[in-house]
Amino acid sequence: MAAGSLLMNDGHWIPVLGFGTYAPEYFPVSESECAVEVALDVGFRHIDNAHLYGNEKEVGRAIQKKMADGTIKRNDVFYTGKAGGDYIPMDENGKILLDMSTDLCAIWEAMEKCKDAGLVKSIGVSNFNCRQLEKILNKPGLKHKPVLNQVECHPYLNQSKLLDYCKSKDILLAGYNVLGSHRHKIWVDQNSPVLLEDPVLVEIAKKYDKTSAHIALRYQIQRGVVPIAKSYNPERIKENFKVFDFELTPEEMQRIDGMNRNLRYTDLKPVSSHPEYPFHDEY
């Protein structure tokens, strides 16, 4: 079974498995470059980044290196970037054009202008709940729907209701923390259970001679979620790509569905007073 892609609502394709480039602050930024090079060598063609990660230059250099040595062509790579809250659009006189903290529709209009200008091919959102997506979809004069919503998604937080909603609107769901997360001590409760040690994943992994990470990733792919696999360990990067040579049964998918406990590893509580904090809603 070959690695595949999913068609987005704007006609562009996105690889079904992404490589995440975020790393905790104790990782040297230079390691981002090496990790992305390994990921591209292994076969990843979807690279997920953000301005907030502070390593855009390093990730860009890795992509350029792999283009230069013939490993990839630019059209082979789907690159995701994210504008953070510290990005404030201004006019030529330095006047702020919109309130990034509250005006979702105005932010979306700015993103639509970027797409119309050819600065980006596709536009999506991250950490949006159903209500926030509805706000964008019902915006008067909407020109471009979000193609994708990237949210935390794993067997302990399977996002089934949000996934169903997004499918009904022809919006793809991408998942971060798909293998669980304990790396960031500010955002993540260190007492949270370790996803990859869950007996259900361990048992299924033994059947296929795979790892728990393989099962968690394969689960997302089969339900139509685009998982973002994140690692800076070269061997794990190679391992994480080996998810296209087996398939989970419907019964196994149902068992993994049953693991859901609505547990967020990244609940963003330090910003929970923000007017657009997304996790007060059920989904």
CATH code, domain carrying 76: 3.20.20.100
Q: What is the mean pLDDT of residues 253-258?
A: 98
Helix axes 130-137, 160-168, angle to 10 degrees: 10
- CA–CA distance, 194 with 190 (Å, rounded to integer): 10
pLDDT tens for 200-246 read 999 999 999 999 999 999 999 999 999 999 999 999 999 999 999 99
In a domain, 280, yes or no: no
In a domain, 187, yes or no: yes
In a domain, 282, yes or no: no
**Nearest Cα residue to 63 out of 87, 51, 46:** 46
pLDDT value of position 87: 55
Structural domains counted in the chain: 1
Q: What is the DSSP letter of 199?
A: H
> Quick one: what percent of the chain has pLDDT higher than 90?
77
In a domain, 279, yes or no: no
In a domain, 283, yes or no: no
In sequence order, the β-bridge partners of residue 1 are none
Range of the domain at 239: 5-274
Place of tokens 């390691």: 31
pLDDT value of position 1: 34
In a domain, 100, yes or no: yes
Helix axes 104-116, 130-137, angle to 10 degrees: 60
231 contacts 237 by C-beta, under 8 angstroms: yes
Catalytic member of 22, 53, 219, 232: 53
Tell me the pLDDT of the chain averaged across its residues: 91
Question: Would you say residue 253 has pLDDT above 70?
Answer: yes
Active site residue 53: yes
Structure pTM?
0.90
CA 270, 275, 281, 283: dihedral to nearest 10 degrees?
-90
In sequence order, the β-bridge partners of residue 225 are 173
Q: What is the DSSP letter of 96?
A: B
Q: What is the mean pLDDT of residues 146-154?
A: 98
pLDDT tens for 23-38 read 877 788 889 999 999 9
State the pLDDT confidence band at 2, using cuts at 50, 70 and 90: very low
Give the ranges where 90-211 is alpha helix by DSSP (H). 104-116, 130-137, 160-168, 199-208
pLDDT tens for 65-106 read 999 999 999 999 999 999 865 555 555 665 545 555 558 898
